[in-house]
Structure 1
């Protein structure tokens, strides 16, 4: 298994309950595919570096996990089809 790191930004119109549900959903995807979630860091609502579709803020979340190489592709697909995710990135941790 390889180590990965993902940061995703959720839409600011979501309430705390919806943000936690979305984070739990993505954690569940990782765990159900045989991955191991090592760390979840909720950064909270922050200002974006630039406006995205007339949105200036978002809920930032950092997740460190270990998984097989095909899992990031599936996670990327799920991030893309979820309307509450504004931006995301998944990188392989080289440490």
Structure 2
């Protein structure tokens, strides 16, 4: 298991945000990943329009996951209509502690 940071962007509507975060956590659990920390970065303007949205709600997850499952997790994320964007960043061993 490697440690990753997962940045996610959701629509700012409360229902879509809650549904999106629940689905993200469910997909992570489905593939055996564990969420160690969840940080909300609030609503921010997007650099460019995504799915006709000019603002998004940002959430940063610290996750432990099997590196072989990251591609499958990203595929499932694309099916989530309430998730505008996501990005996994692998943490170095020094950063992971």
Q: TM-score per shorter chain, which class?
A: 0.7 to 0.9
Q: Tell me what 2:3 maps to.
A: 3
Deviation sequence 1:12-44 (CA, Å, 0-9, x none): 3x3x24312321221122123222110111222
Taking the aligned partners of 1:18 and 1:52, their CA distance within structure 2 comes to 15
Asked if 1:48 corresponds to 2:55, the answer is no
Provide structure 2 residue ranges, at least 5 long, that are not aligned to the other structure.
none
Aligned residues: 93
Q: Tell me what 2:89 maps to.
A: 91
Taking the aligned partners of 2:79 and 2:53, their CA distance within structure 1 comes to 18
Taking the aligned partners of 1:32 and 1:4, their CA distance within structure 2 comes to 17
Provide structure 1 residue ranges, at least 5 long, that are not aligned to the other structure.
none
TM-score normalised over the length of structure 2: 0.80
Going by fraction, where is helix more abundant, 1 or 2? 2
Asked if 1:60 corresponds to 2:58, the answer is yes
Over the aligned positions, Cα root-mean-square deviation in angstroms equals 1.7
Question: Contact between 2:20 and 2:83, CA under 8 Å: does it hold in 1?
Answer: no
Taking the aligned partners of 1:74 and 1:57, their CA distance within structure 2 comes to 27
